[in-house]
Amino acid sequence: MKRFLVLAVTLSILLTSFTVAFAQRVDVGIVLPTRDEPRWLQDMARFQDVIAATPYSVEVLFSQGSSAIERTNVETLIAKGADVIIICAHDAAAAAIAVESAKAEGITVISYDRLITDTDALDYYVTFDSVSVGAAMGEYLAANATGKGNPLYLYAGALTDNNAFLFFQGAWNVLQPLIADGTFVIKNSAQAQNHQDTLELSREQLAAIIGEVTTDWDFNVAKSKAEAHLTVAEAADKGEVFVLAPNDGTARSIADVFAADAHVTNYFITGQDAEKASVQYIIDGQQSMTVFKDTRTLAADAMNMAIEVLQGKTPATDAVYNNLVMDVPAKQTPVVIVTQDNVRDVLIDSGYYDASEFTGL
Ligand code: BGC
């Protein structure tokens, strides 16, 4: 009887650990930078749609703006036997260590939206055309400027995000010739003024400018920077102003600061992501444009790529991005400019958002 009990207990322990191991097994692991920005919640929702339709097991983890948590997330997914990891890094260079440990286990690593730099441990990159995001912003500002001497205020993303370089470069490609011919006059960046005759900025030159006008992708940093800039600017540096804001979250806080300044008579301000709050700002005339990056496409592309890898196929790519160490094969998605004129067509009629989520459409 005693022996039987021991056997039964041993069997049940074995069965439980087998069930746990089985339940925990993950085919595809996804690591996103933070739950605290609407952009990544949009991606999460789109991933949930594609996950629901796949027979593979998928787990999504958030790194909450911490490279340490990000590393733990990757270790967790390695421990759960993931064959593919899709990762959007919090910090491009710091994530190298995490993906190197995945690669050492034979896992296929897909960099998602943000390119991980300083490592050869990447297999693929799934991204929007980020240079064209910046170019779209620059073109919008250019199209609305008439005459010479238009005040230009420049803001950028986080220095730790490779995308911040691509966005700024894309905008600079359009704006620099117009700064050189006097259409625009930079009002808030000595570094950008230093390089205003240079079209092709080196990474170091870009880093110097971005470092000076960075928002760190943080609403509060953006707000206090804009306040500081408008405090030192003369009334003559205001009037109708042009503002390169790097994304929607920062655009809303910078726009609020410009709107509250008595000497700013009108402002044009850019953004990206088509966040709901910014779509409402655009409808209400508080933000001028956003660059719509359809996260349905990006999430589906990344998952399809992962599934092809699981099936032993080689995913198709259509671009190459250099991450300072290697050329990473990439799948790239185009972007769409959204203003008051096409907001309904692009975001409502396409089913991305529901009209009931907005007022005054
Ligand atoms: C993304 C943007 C986002 C920003 C801040 C960038 O890497 O491409 O869509 O707004 O990070 O999270």
- If one counts every other C-beta atom within 10 angstroms of the C-beta of residue 5, the result is 9
> Which tokens go with 25?
């097994």
Q: Does pLDDT of 99 surpass 80? A: yes
Question: What pLDDT, on a 0 to 100 scale, did the predictor assign at position 3?
Answer: 55
What is the DSSP secondary-structure string of 32-90?
A: ES-SSSHHHHHHHHHHHHHHHT-SS-EEEEE-TT-HHHHHHHHHHHHHTT-SEEEE--S
pLDDT tens-digit series, residues 203-224:
999 999 999 999 999 999 999 9
Nearest CA to ligand 1 atom 10: 247
What whole-number distance in Å separates Cα of residue 59 and Cα of residue 28? 7
Q: Does pLDDT of 77 surpass 80? A: yes
CA of 213 to the centre of ligand 1 (A): 16
310 and 273 fall within a common domain: no
CATH of the domain at 224: 3.40.50.2300
200 burial type by CB count under 10 A (0-12 exposed, 13-18 middle, 19+ buried): exposed
300 and 352 fall within a common domain: no
The DSSP H or E segment spanning 30 is: strand 28-32
Nearest-atom number in ligand 1 for the CA of 247 is 10
Q: Which domain holds residue 13?
A: 2-122+295-333
Domain count across the chain: 2
Question: What pLDDT, on a 0 to 100 scale, did the predictor assign at position 9?
Answer: 46
345 and 206 fall within a common domain: yes
280 and 228 fall within a common domain: yes
pLDDT tens-digit series, residues 314-335:
999 999 999 999 999 999 999 9
| Stretch 80-95: mean pLDDT | 97
163 and 193 fall within a common domain: yes
186 and 69 fall within a common domain: no
Question: What pLDDT, on a 0 to 100 scale, did the predictor assign at position 24?
Answer: 75
Nearest-atom number in ligand 1 for the CA of 167 is 8
243 and 305 fall within a common domain: no
CA of 112 to the centre of ligand 1 (A): 11
Ligand 1 pocket (Cβ < 6 Å) reads 37, 39, 113-114, 157, 161, 163, 217, 247, 272-273
Helices 219-232, 248-259: crossing angle, 10 deg rounding: 30
* Ranges of H-type helices in the chain: 2-24, 38-52, 67-79, 95-104, 130-144, 162-180, 190-194, 203-213, 219-232, 248-259, 276-283, 295-310, 343
320 and 350 fall within a common domain: no
188 and 200 fall within a common domain: yes
157 and 243 fall within a common domain: yes
CA of 195 to the centre of ligand 1 (A): 25
137 and 285 fall within a common domain: yes
87 and 7 fall within a common domain: yes
Nearest CA to ligand 1 atom 5: 217
197 burial type by CB count under 10 A (0-12 exposed, 13-18 middle, 19+ buried): exposed
